[in-house]
Amino acid sequence: MQEVLDRLRAIKDEIQQTAIKDSGELEQYRIRFLGSKNVLKDIFSEMKNIPPAERKAFGEQVNEVKQLAESVYDQKKQELSGASKSGINKPDLTLPGDVIIPGSLHPVTLVRNQIVDLFARIGFTVATGPDIEDEWHNFTALNTPPDHPARDMTDTFYISVNPDVLLRSQTSTVQVRTMEQQKPPIRIVAPGRVYRNETISYKHHVYFHQLEGLYIDRRVSFADLKQTLYFFIKEFFGEDFNIRFRPSYFPFTEPSGELDIAHKSSTKWMEILGCGMVHPNVLNNCGIDSRAYSGFAFGLGIERLAMLKYGITDIRTLYDNDIRVLKQFTHA
């Protein structure tokens, strides 16, 4: 009897002192103390040798050890499961961080923002308008004759069987909408995308970006226009460029001109923008008395300035979505 009790006590001590570090050791523990051939079965087999009067007490001791084995198994299993989950969810702060590649603004966006900021310094605010327009705002209000070639489907994208619905071909439409809704003085720039039915090449695209400027007030003169554009060119390109104005023609300005620049070390002139005094018919069409007010307007291509600024020779490069090109402007 005493020998069996000593064996039972030794098993109990072994259970209490067992160190379980992983699932493999837990499985070995289960097989030894709770498996189909566990060590307690030999103890139970000794029941027949125990005097009848002591069998109850002996059975209680054996059951106590068995319950201890089960309790230890459940506890260790729960601890290992919790450690596994915490290991998954808990970040390892000693690991090196992931490299985050910063995004960048498109070169056209960079140039547009720079132009807007320059004109904001001299009091111009930003105005916007819809890309889908009607002929009144895109042509008629801007003094464009009914038979003007710009109205043809070969030049303009009409998007409905109704010829009055089209994609705007110039951001001058924003000038018209602003003059219709706002009384002078008006001083705005209107950046936006425009659409032309042109053959795509290294210098032309079916869509591109313009920025229109408009200043309407009493006694606005061509001298005001020239000084405004001198300021812009000097601030945008620097002091190393010469500037010249050439006479030109636009239906919505009179007189009209174009502005060219050339580096002081070169004799090659480049056209930058068109401009002129707002035609009296345009003012009257928009509900502004041309006898009391005058104004100037100008329009430039943002892509052209971006290409000049960054040395890009093909406009298609700006819209190829080539990451090798775009990532160069991460820190621009």
Backbone angles phi, psi at 64, to 5 degrees: -65, -45
Residue 60: its H or E element: helix 55-89
Q: Please, what's the b/e burial string for 101-117 (b: 16 or more CB within 10 A of its CB; e: otherwise)?
A: eeeeebbbebbbeebee
Q: What is the structure's pLDDT at 87?
A: 52
Identify the band that residue 183 occupies on the pLDDT scale cut at 50, 70 and 90.
very high
Do 221 and 134 belong together in one domain?
yes
Residue 162 falls inside a structural domain = yes
- Which residues have C-beta within 8 Å of that of residue 319, sequence separation ≥ 6? 205
Write down which residue in 54, 89, 124 finishes a domain: 89
Question: Mind listing the pLDDT tens digit for each residue in 280-300?
Answer: 999 999 999 999 999 999 999
Residue 204 falls inside a structural domain = yes
Residue 102 falls inside a structural domain = no
Residues of the chain above pLDDT 70, percent: 95
Write down which residue in 62, 89, 116 finishes a domain: 89
3-state SS class at 57: helix
Do 61 and 193 belong together in one domain?
no
CB 208 within 8 A of CB 302: yes
Number of H helices, E strands in the chain: 11, 9
- pTM for this model (two decimals): 0.67
Give residue 297's domain range: 107-329
Distance (Å, rounded) from C-alpha 251 to C-alpha 144? 6
Identify the band that residue 21 occupies on the pLDDT scale cut at 50, 70 and 90.
confident
Do 84 and 201 belong together in one domain?
no
Do 62 and 130 belong together in one domain?
no
Distance (Å, rounded) from C-alpha 303 to C-alpha 301? 6
Q: In this structure, what CATH number is given to the domain that contains residue 195?
A: 3.30.930.10
A 10 A CB-CB count for 289 gives: 10
Residue in this structure with the two tokens 């702060």, named with its chain if needed: 93
Identify the band that residue 88 occupies on the pLDDT scale cut at 50, 70 and 90.
low
Residue 98 falls inside a structural domain = no
